[in-house]
Structure 1
Amino acid sequence: MSDWLFDLGNSRLKCAPLQADASPGEVLAFAHDGVALAEGWIDCLPPRIDAAHVASVASPALRTALLEALAARCGRIGLAATQRAWDGLRIAYAAPERLGVDRFLAMLAAHARGGAWLVAGVGTALTIDLVDAGGRHHGGRIAPSPALMREALQAKAAQLVADGGHYREFAADTDDALASGCLGAALALVERSLAAAADACGAPVPLLLHGGGAEALLPHLRDAEHDPSLVLRGLAHWARSGPSP
């Protein structure tokens, strides 16, 4: 019997056991099509679980399917939700429920590291949030990820392939130009946000990257830190901590 963490995103379900030190253990990842969860994913879990801690930004139907599957083997299920204040983190949104729980949990994990952070998640969307050393969220940005940009271009022009190519500053091939333009747009937004974060905080702010598409940006962002399990780490912190007064 144990506690488990579940992060249901727009394209993958990630899960991990909650360890005694309040960190996620070995992460399991299962791709889904947005309609149904992967076949047989539940068989990779223990037959009984004490508690499941769930964060979801997927559709209500997919979230319900996950909760129903977990109910058959879990003693207790907790569903994380964005809070205005939690364990020292204070959200900038006037309506906290409009901030995705994945962004909230990523910032919670970043704040627990100490210091200010620019948190960038690269999944279906590219999300960027600034949290200062005192836990104040200054707000953020949402844009298409490079992968989604490629898919959107192909949807309007079938001859523009949705993947492939290499990043070049000035490409001499269409596939390379697509890779360079879409990745370059994301890099430019991150770099502009880093400059704005330094102005807001009065000093350079380190960059913390997470999400399935983060690795494509890493070679181009010097000194960026990469934590692919950041949302699960924040969910673990949420599961073990209480709300701020």
Structure 2
Amino acid sequence: MKLFIDIGNRRVKWATSAQINVSVSQPTDDPSALDKIISEQVINTHSSTLADQLSMQFKKLPAPESVWVSCVAAESIKTDIAKICQVIWKLSPICIRAEAAAGGVENCYENPASVGADRWAANIAARHVAGARALVVIDAGTAVTIDYVDSKGGFLGGLIFPGVATMIESLTSATGQIPAMTHSYSAKRTPRQTHYLNTDTRAAVENGVMLAVTAGIDRAIDYHLATKDSELKVIITGGDAECIIGLSSHDMKHEPNLVLIGLLLLSQESAQ
């Protein structure tokens, strides 16, 4: 058994190889199948008791043969996890970083190592899930990343801009009349159900930011459809994925745990 840990800017989540294999090898019409399996395996990155909570949870697991980590959060969290793994299992985690090529994906960045570990793992997982076809891979979290992978597996680059919660936090901190608020936009909106005439400030901000994020994503997809491949597939992950799917004018496949799947694939490749 291997353990995979995705350390994002707002959440730490983990899964074992057995849990991920069940989700990948037995696909269902429910894209959140793995989320349901690991629903208790998610902790807020900013929790003051993060290390204690992780230690308590990891002690319940059988000893893994290896621990694989993708980290885009503070280095201190990765350090804490390394200490926990060493104390409980006498293991040092393997922290992935982007390479020139891996998992059937060729990294065309000017400096391949500068690609975020989460983006790299997500693109590899998307390639595995969708097969040999052109892809737009979207991660809608603290930041929104929109990456293009061609049908030969070439990761040609992409876009990065602030995510919904980040935009809201930036707006409320930079203005005197808009009160501080947390991101609470409903994921249950039906397509095109953004409200344009809002009669309270919270709704005006949330709908405005969701519209801006979704419009940016749709514009990028339109560009790739027009200039790269009209048959490309769009795969989306991240905390705001369901909201965006409900508002976007494009069909999207929701894969909530692309990074964890990518970690599994990288671990399998390293064993070959």
Q: Specify if TM > 0.5.
A: yes
Q: Distance in 2 between matches of 1:165 and 1:85?
A: 37
Shift of the 165–59 alpha-carbon distance from structure 1 to 2, 3 Å rule, reads closer
| Equivalent position of 2:53 in the other structure | 40
User: Per-residue deviation at 1:145?
Assistant: 0.4
| Equivalent position of 2:141 in the other structure | 123
The reply to whether residue 208 of structure 1 matches residue 235 of structure 2 is yes
Matched residue count? 243
Answer yes or no: is the 8 Å Cα contact 2:134–2:231 preserved in 1.
Answer: no
User: Per-residue deviation at 1:13?
Assistant: 0.8
Q: Distance in 2 between matches of 1:169 and 1:108?
A: 37
Deviates more, 1:174-183 or 1:29-38: 29-38
| Equivalent position of 2:154 in the other structure | 136
Shift of the 36–128 alpha-carbon distance from structure 1 to 2, 3 Å rule, reads farther
Answer yes or no: is the 8 Å Cα contact 1:165–1:177 preserved in 2.
Answer: no
The reply to whether residue 72 of structure 1 matches residue 78 of structure 2 is no
Answer yes or no: is the 8 Å Cα contact 1:118–1:129 preserved in 2.
Answer: yes
| Equivalent position of 2:259 in the other structure | 231
Q: How high is the sequence identity, in percent, across the aligned residues?
A: 26
Shift of the 172–205 alpha-carbon distance from structure 1 to 2, 3 Å rule, reads farther
Answer yes or no: is the 8 Å Cα contact 2:134–2:229 preserved in 1.
Answer: no
Q: Distance in 1 between matches of 2:95 and 2:213?
A: 31
| Equivalent position of 2:69 in the other structure | 54
> Runs (4+) of structure 1 moved beyond 6 Å?
none
| Equivalent position of 1:14 in the other structure | 13
Shift of the 169–38 alpha-carbon distance from structure 1 to 2, 3 Å rule, reads farther
Deviates more, 1:174-183 or 1:227-236: 174-183
User: Per-residue deviation at 1:92?
Assistant: 2.0
Shift of the 217–68 alpha-carbon distance from structure 1 to 2, 3 Å rule, reads same
Shift of the 165–110 alpha-carbon distance from structure 1 to 2, 3 Å rule, reads closer
Shift of the 235–214 alpha-carbon distance from structure 1 to 2, 3 Å rule, reads same
Amino acid at match of 1:122: A
Answer yes or no: is the 8 Å Cα contact 2:51–2:81 preserved in 1.
Answer: no
User: Per-residue deviation at 1:144?
Assistant: 0.5
Q: Distance in 2 between matches of 1:100 and 1:57?
A: 7
TM-score, normalised to structure 1's length?
0.89
| Equivalent position of 1:83 in the other structure | 99
Shift of the 133–170 alpha-carbon distance from structure 1 to 2, 3 Å rule, reads farther
| Equivalent position of 1:218 in the other structure | 245
| Equivalent position of 2:112 in the other structure | 96
| Equivalent position of 2:27 in the other structure | none
User: Per-residue deviation at 1:21?
Assistant: 7.5
Q: Distance in 1 between matches of 2:110 and 2:52?
A: 40
Q: Distance in 1 between matches of 2:20 and 2:122?
A: 18
TM-score, normalised to structure 2's length?
0.81
Consecutive unaligned residues in structure 1, runs of 5 or more: none
User: Per-residue deviation at 1:38?
Assistant: 5.2
Answer yes or no: is the 8 Å Cα contact 2:12–2:43 preserved in 1.
Answer: yes
Q: Distance in 2 between matches of 1:180 and 1:194?
A: 21
Q: Secondary structure at the match of 1:148?
A: helix
Amino acid at match of 1:133: S
The CA RMSD over aligned residues, in Å, is 2.4
User: Per-residue deviation at 1:199?
Assistant: 2.7
Greater share of helix residues, 1 or 2? 2
Consecutive unaligned residues in structure 2, runs of 5 or more: 24-33, 187-193
Answer yes or no: is the 8 Å Cα contact 1:87–1:242 preserved in 2.
Answer: no
